[in-house]
Structure 1
Amino acid sequence: MKKVTGIGGIFFKCKDPKKVNEWYQKHLGLNTGPYGASFEWYQEADSTKKATTQWTPFEEKTKYFEPSGKDFMINYRVENLEALVEELKKEGVVIVDQIETYDYGKFVHIMDVEGNKVELWEPLGE
């Protein structure tokens, strides 16, 4: 069973996300918006299928990364999120919340062995 298929996003805390977005746009050319920047690429297995990786600065006081106390969170792209969550439960991995589905994918959060909150994402409709 395939598990992680790539990095879905990098999320980090900062004092002023708007200012950080503007700085990265001005100095490094990122095409930023309210949710950061998306990097498009093509999947290795099928070079006709476009995919994205998300880069997003969050407010310094965000609670989105809790219960982790870290200033970052990595989002991993996965296949078949429901089956993976069932397997992770059997392996004793802490599942933080329930799977949520949006028009762009399914998400769930887990905790790694060092207490880092990890976001798992099964993309839909790319």
Structure 2
Amino acid sequence: MKKVTGIGGILFKSKDPNAMNDWYKTHLGLETSPYGTSFEWRESEDPSKKGITQWAPFAETTKYFEPSAKDFMINYRVDNLEALAEELKKENVTILDTIETYDYGKFLHILDLEGNKIQLWEPID
């Protein structure tokens, strides 16, 4: 079973997310919104399929990355989140919540060996 298919996003804390968005827009040309920006790409195995990688600054006071004390969280793309969640449970991986489904995909949060919070995302492309 293929587990991770790519990086879905880089999420990080910032003193001023709006200013950070503006700086990256002005100096590096990112097309930002209040949610950061999405980098669109095509899958190498099937170029007809699009994918995105999200770049998003969060307020430095966000509780979203807890229980990790890190200033970042990596989002990994996966193919079958339900099957992966079952496998991770059997492997005694710390699972922080239940799978949540939105119109753009399914999400689950886990902790790695050093307590870094990881977001797993099965996109609905």
Q: What is the aligned length?
A: 125
What is the match of residue 118 of structure 1?
118
| Alpha-carbon distance in structure 1 between the residues aligned to 2:3 and 2:44 | 16
What is the match of residue 49 of structure 1?
49
| Alpha-carbon distance in structure 1 between the residues aligned to 2:23 and 2:87 | 41
Does residue 104 of structure 2 align to residue 96 of structure 1?
Answer: no
- Give the letter for the 1:79 counterpart: D
User: What is the TM-score normalised by the length of structure 1?
Assistant: 0.98
Shift of 1:45: 1.2
List runs of 5+ in structure 1 lacking aligned partners: none
List runs of 5+ in structure 2 lacking aligned partners: none
Shift of 1:67: 0.4
Q: Report the aligned-residue RMSD.
A: 0.4
- Give the letter for the 2:8 counterpart: G
Q: What secondary structure sits across from 2:85 in the alignment? A: helix
What is the match of residue 25 of structure 2?
25
The 5 A counterparts of 1:5-84 are 5-84=5-84
Q: What secondary structure sits across from 2:26 in the alignment? A: helix
User: What is the TM-score normalised by the length of structure 2?
Assistant: 0.99
Over 4 Å off, 4+ runs? none
- Give the letter for the 1:24 counterpart: Y
Over the matched positions of the two proteins, sequence identity in percent amounts to: 71
